[in-house]
Structure 1
């Protein structure tokens, strides 16, 4: 990571984002059960909401007084959990003033939670009683603790959007205890992903797709320096031009191919389709620029998904069907353009894909 990347990843909310905005550091990785040997994909997020509005105590946006806009939400939320069988999202909340951080390099400390560029430790817990009595927590019951080291590689930053991937390919190592079951996390099979995103509101659609577990159909070998990430959506602010902005980057054996932001680059185009079937979800993406074309086709079983819960900086819970999956599988194809012909560079199978999609109607909140 460059010095500029280190500073970008360590930056805390400032300016308008302190009172009207959110910021989130996100980690996704896979571990193996010591009991059964089966793998499970986990997520850990450090989410800051409107920190300057109520720095001394958490304020939630799903209570009556917040719904009439007497207060805006303000807190630090630690979100952790897993997809698949017995999947859950577990939340703990803290006042914004409790966090300690460095300015030039990511080093966040919040009670027992620690996040840096090369280590991650902490825990979350939520009991059944608090889940029933406090729906504003937007949490499932359960527990998860983790103690991990990590090595990030293949970073990328999109200048046009508030999204920075400090580790499109991240190797995690250590242990996770999820609902009293211990998991071993190994660098070669963690297939990790780490990023940071921020803004003044959520988009609709809200879309992410990423994977670093890529197996070539041509050579039958794992492509250890290949990964991709695609994201975007539309602004839903009143009066905004609701134009889609999708952006994509593909690392192929260490070299990156940038497909930019569709709305700003005439020679770049990213088209996206989401399909919901009776048992599966389907992400279809075609990204192209003047020289290359990149196709992504991913499926995820509904039984392996969660509806991720977040509220917006104004206190509305816009996304109530935000599909999220850490076990997507599918295919990618990568072509070089030559006149009217396409030359196939790579065809590959992908697994452990992190996928999200959600949309809402703004008229429901007016």
Structure 2
């Protein structure tokens, strides 16, 4: 069962050697509607801490410099990306009842709320967070794997289906966020290296082509990467799951009993990004295709823990559209369970050479 919240995985991991050679990144996306017009806008907010003990009163960043700072990055897909760098002397990370808290200047993040602003006030947010369904990958990022740092990068989706409520002020306009129409997502990655290859697909705004109904209790999250296990690279792989109206469909190579298999195709043109994955386990097959215009994507930059560019290029969005088909296996044949249209989906792709 993958729908298990894990507060130990979701708290800040930058202790021990990670304190001077590690990063911890929290990612949130959600949909808002402009007061008076109902116009849809999809926002993102990111909190990233890197090498916290390597700097204090000053932000350390730039090529060839060992970085140390907290980065709060935010904006609206297809419109803007804003960054605020905060020195570690203004940052505190702690837990309350095992649940994480991060305070960075006047920016705040916890399991149940987040708030903050850009330095110039162009964007601010004050939101409540309700994480409804989690994707817990199990032993691949379990306590033992984390203790021995088995992987160079870890992923945990505490909010595969997340609902947000509150207010965002963006470039002079107010956007109200409602739980039922936020179609949110929240996850985190951490480690001492960024993967050479990364791919992610997630979404919770799904509509059935069979019934015509919105599937309000469904969502998916997949992460593709080329992991390094104890210093040895593993082939490109994808892990993740579909939560379909209360039923779990898991595709995870770290759970051998599932007999999971992965296929994917990336179509990266000058104008658009298209990702197709086919996930298979011993009882089901999932086919997912997402596409987004490059004009609706952002290209965030990341620094490695030693001060180099983590990716030659990285594309990210939460306004992708596509289609998802789910089949079960029965007597050697595939039986269609659901055929879904996907909206407001997360799609990201990057690498050292792409």
TM-score (norm: length of structure 2): 0.89
Match among 121, 128, 149 for residue 149 of structure 1: 128
Partner of 2:115: 121
Partner of 2:263: 271
Partner of 2:169: 177
What is the CA distance between 1:4 and its match in structure 2? 6.8
Match among 323, 327, 336 for residue 319 of structure 2: 327
Partner of 2:200: 208
Match among 81, 87, 108 for residue 102 of structure 2: 108
Go from structure 1 to structure 2 and tell me whether the alpha carbon gap of 1:4 and 1:152 turns closer, same or farther (over 3 Å shift): closer
What is the CA distance between 1:248 and its match in structure 2? 1.5
What is the CA distance between 1:236 and its match in structure 2? 7.6
2-structure distance, mates of 1:268, 1:238: 22
The number of equivalent residue pairs is 338
Match among 128, 137, 155 for residue 158 of structure 1: 137
Partner of 1:15: 16
Partner of 1:288: 280
What is the CA distance between 1:240 and its match in structure 2? 3.7
Partner of 2:27: 26
Question: RMSD of the TM alignment (CA)?
Answer: 2.4
1-structure distance, mates of 2:59, 2:230: 28
Could you give the per-residue CA deviations for residues 158-191 of structure 1, whole angstroms, max 9, x where no partner exists?
1315111111111111111112222111111110
Q: What pairs with 1:246-257 in structure 2 (closer than 5 Å)?
A: 246-257=238-249
Could you give the per-residue CA deviations for residues 254-299 of structure 1, whole angstroms, max 9, x where no partner exists?
2222100379778111222110234321110111111111110111
2-structure distance, mates of 1:237, 1:268: 19
2-structure distance, mates of 1:56, 1:270: 46
2-structure distance, mates of 1:267, 1:211: 24
1-structure distance, mates of 2:258, 2:339: 27
CA contact (8 A) 2:292 2:321 kept: yes
TM-score (norm: length of structure 1): 0.86
Go from structure 1 to structure 2 and tell me whether the alpha carbon gap of 1:3 and 1:239 turns closer, same or farther (over 3 Å shift): closer
Give 3-state SS (helix, strand or coil) of 2:122's partner.
Answer: strand
CA contact (8 A) 1:246 1:262 kept: no
